Amino acid sequence: MTIPAVSKSDEGLYKCTNSEGESPESWMTVMTETVPVLSMSLPRLLCSLLVMSPYLLVTIILLVKYCRSRTQGETRVPRKTHQDQLGDRVEEE
């Protein structure tokens, strides 16, 4: 059972009373609420890393390719298309 807003000074002997009688006294211990620590076993950690590594690797490769193509696109002179070459021939004639 959880009782909110208690302190260590509330620890002690308690009993229940109802219309049918009274229970024997029992010691009630007050414990602070602990935040669960994220703990993962080594095999589970390795399994998670193994599953995630292909996704991470592909993401990194795609990012590198994207950055390279973007920087090359800024410095590269645009190539003439077949349509542009045909237009140049018409102008020459």
Name 28's Cβ contacts closer than 8 Å, sequence gap at least 6.
10, 11, 12, 13, 14
Confidence label for 4 from pLDDT (cuts 50, 70 and 90): confident
| DSSP secondary structure letter of residue 8 | G
pLDDT for the residue numbered 36: 63
Average pLDDT score over residue span 7-33: 87
Q: What is the mean pLDDT of residues 5-13?
A: 85
Whether 48 contacts 56, CB under 8 Å: no
**Annotated domain spans of the chain:** 39-75
Q: What is the pLDDT of residues 31-89, one digit of tens each?
A: 776 666 666 788 888 888 899 999 999 999 999 999 988 887 665 555 666 666 666 55
Q: From start to end of the chain, where are the E strands?
A: 12-14, 17-18, 21-22, 26-28
Q: Which residues contact 10 (CB under 8 A, 6 or more apart)?
A: 28, 30
